Amino acid sequence: MINVLLIIFAISLLYLGIANRLLTYIKILAIQGILLFGIAFIELIQINAVNLAFVLLETIVFKTLAIPLFLNYVMKRNRITRDAEPFLPNFISLIIITMIIIATFILSNAIMDSRISKIFFVVALSTLFTGLYIIVTRTKIMTHVIGYLVIENGVFILSLAVGNEMPMLVNLGILLDIFASVFILGIFVNRIGDVLKDVDVDQLKNLRD
C-alpha cells in the first residue's frame, strides 16, 4: 500500500512538469498533501498516539487545506495571470523530470544499505530535485513558492524514512513546514502584492553589482 502511494506521489511530479496553469499546481499540492497523509499514517502507526495525531493533523490541515486555499486566495487577490510561464516547453520538462527519477533510481541502487527503504529515498530525492527544477525554470514568485513547497514535501518523505526511530525529526520537519507556510506565504506573498503591481521575479532584479 505504501509503495502504491509513493509511486502515485512520483507520478504527481511528472504531472507537475506538464501543468500549464497555476491552479493546477495548487491542486497537485493538495493531492500531494493527501498522499503524505496516507504515507505518514501507514509508516508512523507505531509511534505514540498524540504525536501521530499531530503529524496527521499537520498533513491534512496545513499541506492539504490551508496552503492550497491560501495560495488560491493570494492568486485571486493579486490578480496573478493564470499561466505558469515556464522558460522551457512542457515536453522538455517532462523528459527532464523523468531523467531525474531515473537518476535517483540509479543513485539509490549504488547505496549498499538495507536498513534504509529504497523507495522512500528515491521518491524523496526526486521530489527534491523536481522542486529545484521548478524554481529554476519558472518566472513567477508564485511558482518559486510552489517549488519550495514541493521541496518541503520531499524532505517530509525523507524524514518519514526514519520517523519510527526518531519521531522528533518528523516534528522538526513539520516545524519547517509551518515556518515556510506561515512566514513565506502569510507575511510575504501577501505583502508583495501591496508593493508591486504584478508579481513577477523580473521586478525583483534591481539589487546587484
Contacting positions for another protein (CB under 8 A): 111, 113, 115-116, 128, 141, 144, 148, 151-152, 155, 158-159, 161-162, 165-166, 168-169, 172-173, 175-176, 179-180, 183-184, 188, 191-192, 195-196, 203-207, 209
The string over 162-172, giving b where at least 16 C-beta atoms fall within 10 Å of a residue's C-beta and e elsewhere, is bbeeebeebbe
Cell numbers standing for residue 73: 486566495
In angstroms, give the least distance from the CB of 53 to another protein.
21
Residue 57 phi, psi (nearest 5): -60, -40
Give the integer Cα–Cα distance in Å for 100 and 154.
14
Neighbours of 200 (CB within 10 A): 17
In angstroms, give the least distance from the CB of 113 to another protein.
8
Cell numbers standing for residue 203: 521586478
In angstroms, give the least distance from the CB of 179 to another protein.
6
* 1 vs 112, beta carbon nearer another protein: 112
* 102 vs 204, beta carbon nearer another protein: 204
Cell numbers standing for residue 46: 507505531
Neighbours of 81 (CB within 10 A): 14
Residue 170 phi, psi (nearest 5): -65, -40
* 58 vs 152, beta carbon nearer another protein: 152
* 95 vs 178, beta carbon nearer another protein: 178
In angstroms, give the least distance from the CB of 124 to another protein.
9
In angstroms, give the least distance from the CB of 61 to another protein.
21
Which position has the grid cell 521518491?
Answer: 123
CB 21 within 8 A of CB 74: no
* 94 vs 176, beta carbon nearer another protein: 176
